[in-house]
Structures are given as structure tokens and as C-alpha cells.
Chain A
Amino acid sequence: MAAIPKEKPSRIDELRAEFARYKADVKERGKPFYPYAMFHDTIMSLVVVCTIIGLAVIWKWSAWGPDHDPLHKGLLGAEVAAPADPGTTSFVPRPDWYFYFLFYLLRIFKWPESVFLGTVGVPTIALMLLIGLPFLDRRRARRPSARPVAMVAAVLTIVSMAVLTWKGATAKEALASEVKQNIPRWIKDEQLPPAARPGVQLFATAGCTACHTYDGAGGANLGAPDLTDIGTRNLGIDFQIKHLQCPSCVNPGSPMPPFASLGDERLKQLAIFLEASKGTH
């Protein structure tokens, strides 16, 4: 059409023009950072500092307890847990809350086919997408109403992060004291021979059930397999002991911690128990 001789400006020209307009507008109609923006920033910072102090106070004064016990659990958790002990394994591996989503992700994937996705795949892809966002979304529009795809994607991301964090936070912790109550049932269900009895006790108290399920008890973490019928695979006592001593030596990449500190005697008991677990139920 003769009336429009000018070509449509290229994308980058439009962006540059918009930014030049922005600069001019701010210069003309803006207001100085001090005192306007600084005022808001200062108030918000005070709120932040007060919140942090408040949390510290609630934490200390609810945890301190009447008997001044640092291990006492208050509203926000204990001051500190029992001292680290590589030999005692009645633990529940639990990260800080902002890793809960990862932690729970690992329950969804099963060893060994897909656990790799949970530990590396999904987080790496998520990070790539996050860093690459400005290059994936190259449209000029800034208004949320003009960016439906971005908004829906954001809501889905937030909801899934929130759900994973929540699930991670409320995931059933397999406490040794509760797991122990299952021992008689396990012995009956699995028809465990007397030789396997010491192993059962160990299995229930050494922290194995923090990751493994066994005959309907325990928590499935980090993609750890159910061990109800581990004996049917006839891996052999020797293999079981080696695996317990150093899981990643026999199953490369295994996230299961080494249990060498239990000592040979007890590892053997565990191995006998594992081999006796034939899932006869």
C-alpha cells in the first residue's frame, strides 16, 4: 500500500525504543529514590529484621524447656539434636525445608531405572529453564494478562513446588520405636527362622526403614527398593555384607549410606535376615 512506505521496525529496534522511552519517562515523571523508595525499603527491612528476631525468640524460649535440655523440642524444633555419631544409625535423614521438594521428588522415582531423573535430571532441567527464561520468553509484553502461557506455567510451577514441599514436610518418618512394633508381625508373615531374629531387630532400629519399606512398614525414600522379598533374588550373604559396607562400591552411584561402622558381626546378622526375607506372605 502506497500509504505505508515504512517497514515494520525490527524487534530489537522496538525494544530499544521502548527502553529509551522508559529512561526519558523516569527522568521526566519519576521521583527520587531518596526519600520515596528508600522509605518503603526501610520499613520492609525493619519488618524483616523483627521477623527474624521473633523467630529466634520463639525458637529458643520454646525449646529451652523447664529442664534446660538442649535436645528438648520446642515450637520450631530443638536447639540441637544429639551429637553426630557415625556409628549410630537410628536417624531420619531430613534436609532443611527448602530442600524438601527435592527430597520428596526422590520418593517418586524408583531405583535404579529413574532415580537419576530425581537426583539430577529434574533439578538440572528446572535450573536450565529458570536461567534461560529471558531467552525462552522473548515477547515484549509485560502485563500478566498479555502473557497467559507464562502465567499458567508459573502457577503450575508454584503449585507443584508447594505440593512437593508439603509432602516432604509431612512425609511419614519411620521412627525406630514405631517400626519395632512390627517385628512380631514380620517374623510371622515372613516365617523368619530363628537365625534371622537378631537381624530383624537391627533392621528395625539401625535406620534402614528411613528409606526402605518392609512388609508395609517404613518410608520409601530416595527410590530405595522394598525389601520384603529381597531374599528371592539370592544375592548371597557376601554380597549383602559388601553392599552394606559400601553400597556405592557394588552398586555404582547408590545414594545409600555405608553401614560399615555397625561392625562385621552385626552386618552378618543383617545379611542373614535379608537373605531370609522371601516375601512369603
Chain B
Amino acid sequence: MATTYRRKPTKAEIRRQRMEELVTYPLDWLEERSGLIGGVRYFLFRNVPADINWMQTLGSAALTAFLVQAITGVILAMYYVPSAATDPHTGNPVAWESIVHITDDLTLGWLVRGMHRWGASVFIILMFLHMGRVFLFGAYKYPRELNWIVGVLILVMGMMEGFTGYLLPWDQTAYWATVVGINLNGTAPFLGPWLAQFLRGGQEIGGETLTRFYSLHMLVIPGAIIGLITLHLYLVIRLGVTSPPWSKEAAGMEPEEEEPARLRPGLTRPVPRPSGASAMQAEPGGQE
């Protein structure tokens, strides 16, 4: 920006301008080459209905819970060993030992694992609550049908994360719940037996099942969830969020004037009279 000075700029003013340029130059550089700054600016300063309410924070709350899962998950992956082999020194499975090691020996390991474990439940609960809010607001209706479907898919993927993650500690609860869970998948017609076989990675649940679940749990399903969340947010920003339907000034509410004139008694307000001969024959209000 060309600033015109009446007098010669002081040293302080020149320094200030240099500092400003230091910040704006890289931003301008990025904007010119990517348009990203404009995108972020649009995201931040786009208008939302003035009457949105607290219930509408549940979606971003669920996103926060997902981010907690992602971050704690990455840390856990640095220490967890997905092996069902037996440790020759202790006689315990390696995966189980690594979980105990994370929880009891690592500095703050218990916190990271605890947050991951309980964050999973919080994530699921928040997704259900968010879904309930969308239902209550009728926000799944035109033009947001597609985003409802994307949301349901995220919920299903989230539950699959729960199912695959449950096995990883490789303890009795995990093992036997998964045995039964996989057997239940196997009862489905057509694809069932194939799916059970795929999940097990063989005839029996063992080391192969564990690595398979680990890969699904930390690569495949989270990848899908991140893709779906991106799509979900894109649609939210493109279509906007709804006003609470009971709000007096809900955005998009039908303006009173658009009620068909014939339904109005014409007592409290003058009936707008179209010109022309037919207007003269218009029946007095209040009748069909």
C-alpha cells in the first residue's frame, strides 16, 4: 500500500512499515500462489445465522475429540508393538506387555493411553449427540441430504475404529470379544464368511489378526474418516448451518408477505391489489 506522507516519515514510522511488510509479504506471496489465505479468510469471516445456539457446537466438539484421538494415537503408535508372539523372558504376549509398559512405565504414558481409550467413547457420544441435534433441527433436509449421509458414514467408521482398537491391548476381554465379534460377522449371508476370514487373516484369531486390526485401526479407517470429515466440513461451509427452526428470526423463514393473499382476511393489513379487470372480481378475503 502506498502511504503518502505529508512530511518526511520518522525513523519509527519507517521501522513500523518494514515490520508490517515482514508479516504481509509472506502472506501475500502465499495468497498469490495458492489462494489459501483468501480461503481461510472466507472460512473465518463468512456469516453464520445470528441465532445459532450452543447445540450447534457439538459438531466441532466431535471434531476436537477426533483430533485428540489422532494425536494420542500417533504417540501410542511410537511405543505399541502389535505382536502376539510370546516374550521369552516373561511368557506374556509382546503386545500386552507393550500396553502395560506404556501405562505403567512411560512418563505420562498412562495419560496418553487413558485419553485415547476414553476419548474413543467421548467421540462416539459426541457424534450421536451431534446427529440428534441435526435431526431435531431438521437440518438433514434439502440441500443438506448428502452431508447427512457423509455424517452417518463417519459414525459407522468411528464404530469400526472402536471395534478394531478394542483388540489391540491383546488381553482376555479384547481377545474373546473379538472372537465373538468376528464370528458374528461370519453369520451374515454371502459376504459374511469372507469378511470373517479376511478380518481373522486365517482360520484362527492370532498374530495375523492383530497386525491386520492394527493396520485397519491406524491407517485405513482413520484415512477414510479424515477424507469424510474434510468432505463434511466442505459441505457445511458451502451450504451454511441452519438456524434453530423455532427461532423467531430463522434465516430463510418464509416472509409473511408471501402467504397467498386469498388466505388473508384483509382486516389487519390491506390486501395488495393487482391492477387490471380481474382484480376487481377478486373475492373478499376469508373465503376459499
Contact = CB atoms under 8 A, between A and B. Distances in A.
Interface of A: 1-5, 12, 15, 18-19, 21-23, 25-27, 29-34, 36-38, 40-41, 43-45, 47-49, 51-53, 55-57, 59-60, 68, 70, 76, 79-86, 88-89, 91-99, 106, 115-116, 119-120, 127, 130-131, 133-135, 137-138, 140-145, 147, 150, 154, 158, 207, 222, 248, 253-258
B163 A99 contact: yes
A131 B50 contact: no
B152 A134 contact: no
A248 to B, nearest CB: 6
Contact of A254 (B56, B183, B204): B183
Contacts of B145: 134-135
8 contacts: A21-B251, A27-B47, A52-B115, A81-B172, A84-B93, A84-B175, A116-B187, A127-B152
B218 interface: no
A36 B249 contact: no
Contacts of B58: 44
Contacts of A93: 176-177, 179-180
B46 A22 contact: no
Contact of A33 (B43, B92, B141, B148): B43
Query: Looking at chain A's contact residues, is the secondary structure mostly helix, strand, loop, or mixed?
Result: helix
A188 B34 CA distance: 82
A84 B162 contact: no
Contact of A70 (B52, B103, B177): B103
B226 interface: no
B143 A15 contact: yes
Contacts of A133: 135, 140, 148
Interface residues of B, number: 99
B114 A55 contact: yes
Chain B CB within 10 Å, residue with most, of A30, A53, A85: A30
Interface in B240-264: 240, 242, 245-246, 249, 251-255, 260, 262
Chain B CB within 10 Å, residue with most, of A99, A116, A255: A255
Chain B CB within 10 Å, residue with most, of A15, A53, A93: A93
Contacts of A106: 184
Contacts of A34: 44-45
B186 A98 contact: no
